Chain A
């Protein structure tokens, strides 16, 4: 029987969808091992987050409210997560492989003397017990790994799991007395420069419009009208970010975000393995590129060889016409 602790992720008092993907991973794990799921909510003033999670079948929701958890300083967060895991007797701790999860979870693993598998996409029977499946080598290979420690730590690749659906009932909400010891952490939070956007989150959007280096300083001019029309998030290749046409938060790929929307547009993106690693599990891929030999066409369901500066505006006007 397993006891799984899922750490909730939230922003401005709202539960991030990533949390529901982690919960779905936890459900699939518990379906194989038996046992129960507990949810941990860390932060300052997070009561609303906890209340929003009561219908997902968790045995309990543990709220660690503390001013020193307002900013996600890895040292303090890891201590509180590990303390909570020990208090509830969790043998598996998980969170999404977001920048926060990546930052915090390895430190949790050390505190719990646990092995950790990153970016897990499935729980599989490995013959000699359960294994965790994870992409390696930019997704060109996958590895089924076994973790030989009593406690296990997992970062969940959210695009590989559906969002858990509410199951009704009402999980008990309990306070956990957090002791983040921030003063000892020798680290000071200086600030955050956010990318303001009214668009959906890249990792949550059902449509993603991504642009590459070929769009140059007309990146926004080309991607925005199509994204607006389709209610899409905007993504970018690393080259487009490196060259300053798009913010770093837009990067899709091995070292950026991993997305799997219903519809993905790769516009003026060549299709390097590192980019494919972040989008090749999208349901439908459209590639628009002026060079027919680019590798992006090998993964695209619909490839259009054309100049993006002409084709994308035309696409926008034809879809608009079709809808009116």
Chain B
């Protein structure tokens, strides 16, 4: 069996961000971290390997070549993923649709049984790639997974949806997108970091993938920093709070 996972880097969510002068992207000296949901996807794949054995795992990262290669090695291969594929692309102009079309080409080459990626990239916050990919491939999907089990021919997934938890059973091949409660991602062991340097990492250009037109459908025209909310300060005690909620805010 084969599982394809994702390795996307994102700018550190806790960093203070500024809009670049052309207004189309973020600027400056930003620290990057692995997209959390990719860490959940990677961890899930590793646990399935531990449970079932005989599963080959591959991590795909799309982005600026050197940096993305580093994230694939440190975030995926060092943790135990078998090998990596890097597709060089400009992160600023790849919308979720183009990312999904790149995934579809890699899937056609690798023929995985399960594509297991994050539900959302915490920079663009689109929450689309897994669903787009599933439709491009004509495969079933289970998004927002909080539990994944392979049971015979089926993959059984519990999903976090509005109102509670839904369970679906799919036959492979299928697409799963990971939610945060799926697992606690492990740290890469020291030995893993050494091993990762020797693991295969295939580097591809967009041109190698025969995408047709490699153009995004969604374009950022302008980015803005929203006005921050102002604090109203502290109240003295509960009486003061009740008084203000009634008298000033008129909400109780």
A interface residues, Cβ below 8 angstroms from B: 11, 73-75, 78, 98-100, 102-107, 109-111, 114-119, 126-128, 131, 134-149, 185-195, 207, 230, 238, 241-242, 247-249, 254-255, 257, 262-263, 273-274, 280, 283-286, 292, 297-306, 311, 314-315, 318-319, 322
Contacts and interface: CB of A to CB of B under 8 A. Distances in A.
Contact of B232 (A111, A190, A302, A305): A302
18 contacts: A106-B132, A115-B97, A115-B217, A116-B96, A138-B13, A143-B222, A144-B220, A148-B217, A186-B140, A188-B169, A189-B166, A190-B167, A193-B164, A248-B181, A299-B231, A302-B245, A311-B238, A315-B242
A192 B170 contact: no
Interface string B69-93: 0000000000000000000000000
Contact of B221 (A104, A119, A131, A136): A131
A298 B231 contact: yes
A193 B123 contact: no
B179 interface: yes
Given A100-B161, A116-B97, A191 B17 contact: no
Interface stretch (B1-9, B49-57, B141-149, B187-195): B141-149
A137 B235 CA distance: 31
A10 B156 CA distance: 26
B204 interface: no
Nearest to B164: A194
Which 6 residue pairs across A and B have the least CB separation, nearest first? A115-B217, A106-B131, A301-B232, A110-B135, A107-B135, A190-B167
Contact of A193 (B165, B218, B219, B239): B165
A292 B234 contact: yes
A186 B223 CA distance: 41
Residue from B156, B170, B251 with most neighbouring chain A CB atoms (10 Å)? B251
A265 to B, nearest CB: 10
Nearest to B217: A115
Contacts of A102: 127, 131, 143-144
Contacts of A286: 241, 245
Contacts of A247: 164
Contacts of A189: 166, 168
A303 B127 contact: no
Interface in B1-58: 11, 13-14, 17, 19, 26
Contacts of A193: 164-167
A99 B160 contact: yes
Contacts of B117: none
A141 B132 contact: no
Contact of B238 (A139, A143, A274, A306): A306
A106 B135 contact: yes
Interface in B213-252: 215-226, 229, 231-235, 237-239, 241-242, 244-246, 249, 251-252
A136 B162 contact: no
Nearest to A78: B135
Contacts of A301: 231-232, 249
A284 B249 CA distance: 7
Contacts of B215: 148
Contact of B140 (A100, A115, A140, A185): A185
A165 B232 CA distance: 33
B128 A118 contact: yes
B196 interface: no
Residue from B159, B167, B232, B242 with most neighbouring chain A CB atoms (10 Å)? B232
A228 to B, nearest CB: 14
A105 B244 CA distance: 43
B221 A190 contact: no
Contacts of B60: none
A146 B221 contact: yes
Given A144-B222, A297-B234, A300-B231, A186 B128 contact: no
B168 A190 contact: yes
Contacts of A75: 134-135, 140-141
B19 to A, nearest CB: 7
Contacts of B115: none
B120 interface: yes
A299 B229 contact: yes
Given A140-B17, A190-B168, A273-B14, A315 B238 contact: yes
